[in-house]
């Protein structure tokens, strides 16, 4: 069982940066692939980024590649999403999720555990 709590969202101007954090509980956190998803109003939840248990593998949606970076600290049970060069299209609720597998997963149905989400709003 893994419980996830996101933080770090807020309001930022276009071109700015935010760093999202996800605190995880559970002894086996280090064995999970971790993902970030987002959902904008009126749109389906979409994949943003994923990081393998070892941090060796990362994968990003094309829309955020080169701007967002995911990292994790297994000793602290933390996952991070550094978001740079934000634009209004990045406005959404961002969710942290955990998948009990070693392979990177981009589909939301691979993830068993989800946080409550944190709002990111980018103003133009």
pLDDT in tens, 4-20: 999 999 999 999 999 99
pLDDT at position 31, please? 86
82: pLDDT strictly greater than 90: yes
Nearest to 9 by CA among 94, 100, 108, 67: 94
112: pLDDT strictly greater than 90: yes
Sheet holding 68-73, edge to edge: 3-7, 18-25, 78-83, 68-73
Helix or strand run (H / E) with residue 7: strand 3-7
The share of the chain scoring above pLDDT 70, in percent, equals 100
Nearest to 123 by CA among 97, 101, 94, 91: 91
108: pLDDT strictly greater than 80: yes
pLDDT at position 103, please? 86
Q: Could you give the C-alpha distances from 87 to 44, 55, 64, in angstroms and in order?
A: 19, 27, 10
pLDDT digits (tens, 9 = 90+) for 30-77: 889 999 999 999 999 999 999 998 889 999 999 999 999 999 999 999
- Name the band, by pLDDT with cuts 50, 70 and 90, for residue 115: very high
Phi-psi group of 74: left, alpha or beta (phi > 0 → left; psi -120 to 50 → alpha; rest → beta): alpha
pLDDT digits (tens, 9 = 90+) for 85-97: 999 999 999 999 9
Contact call for residues 37 and 45 (beta carbons, < 8 A): yes
């Amino acid at each position: 069982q893994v419980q996830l709590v996101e933080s770090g969202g807020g309001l930022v101007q276009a071109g700015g940066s935010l760093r999202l954090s996800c605190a995880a509980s559970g002894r086996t956190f280090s064995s999970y692939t971790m993902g970030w998803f987002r959902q904008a109003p009126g749109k389906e939840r979409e994949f943003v980024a994923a990081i393998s248990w070892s941090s060796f593998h990362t994968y990003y949606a094309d829309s955020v590649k080169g701007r967002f970076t995911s990292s994790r600290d297994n000793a602290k049970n933390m996952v991070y999403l550094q978001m740079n060069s934000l634009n209004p299209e990045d406005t959404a609720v961002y969710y942290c999720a955990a998948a009990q597998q070693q392979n990177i997963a981009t589909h939301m149905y691979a993830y068993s555990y989800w946080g409550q989400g944190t709002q990111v709003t980018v103003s133009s």
